[in-house]
């Protein structure tokens, strides 16, 4: 994918952010077989929404809401803020950071340095890892926006915005 195509999908993304993330997004899509126009359209539409068109790689909220959430593995004091959402599709909770750290063979020591997920390479990679782990290519192949959104968000927050990004992504990737 090139810069012009990504700008069509995320018209509000700055050129600087597109330049910063584009090579990592291309690598991530290749790594996780997000390799058809439909898969890419869904993946990029979700990223566009989740990151505010590549503006955010860290949850704006403090993370206090996740404190003590055993379902996220947040069992130590301070885990909520320490393991708040990061990445282009937000990785949240000690358990998920640990699983992603294991995926990278502990190369980044994320349990001690979770902020590393805010860097463009890992912010992109964690999105692809989450996508793959949750078998979202299969849902994208069937054009299942609502099911993908539910897997990513746990509900349907921002569904209309995700759908608008998807329309632009399909126009840029499928019909051109």
Residue among 122, 137, 42 at smallest CA distance from 90: 122
What whole-number distance in Å separates Cα of residue 116 and Cα of residue 71?
A: 23
pLDDT tens digits in sequence order for the chain, 176 residues long: 999 999 999 999 999 999 999 999 999 999 999 999 999 999 999 999 999 999 999 999 999 999 999 999 999 999 999 999 999 999 999 999 999 999 999 999 999 999 999 999 999 999 999 999 999 999 999 999 999 999 999 899 999 999 999 999 999 999 75
| Dist CA 40 CA 141 (whole Å) | 10
Per-residue pLDDT at 176: 54
pLDDT value for 4? 97
What's the sign of the alpha-carbon dihedral 80, 82, 85, 90?
Answer: negative
Angle at 158 between CA 100 and CA 156, to 5 degrees: 75
Q: What is the pLDDT of residue 175?
A: 73
């Amino acid at each position: 994918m090139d810069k012009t195509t990504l700008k069509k999908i995320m018209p509000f993304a700055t050129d600087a952010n597109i330049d910063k993330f584009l090579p990592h997004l291309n690598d991530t899509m290749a790594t996780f077989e997000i390799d058809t126009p439909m898969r890419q359209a869904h993946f990029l539409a979700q990223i566009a929404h989740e990151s505010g068109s590549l503006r955010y790689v860290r949850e704006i909220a403090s993370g206090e809401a996740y404190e003590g959430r055993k379902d996220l593995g947040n069992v130590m004091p301070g885990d909520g803020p320490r393991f708040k959402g990061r990445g282009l599709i937000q990785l949240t909770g000690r358990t998920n950071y640990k699983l992603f750290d294991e995926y990278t063979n502990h190369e980044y020591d994320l349990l001690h340095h979770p902020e590393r997920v805010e860097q463009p390479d890992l912010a992109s990679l964690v999105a692809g890892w989450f996508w793959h782990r949750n078998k979202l290519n299969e849902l994208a192949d069937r054009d299942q926006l609502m099911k993908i959104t539910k897997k990513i968000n746990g509900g349907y927050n921002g569904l209309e915005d995700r759908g608008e990004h998807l329309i632009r992504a399909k126009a840029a990737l499928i019909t051109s």
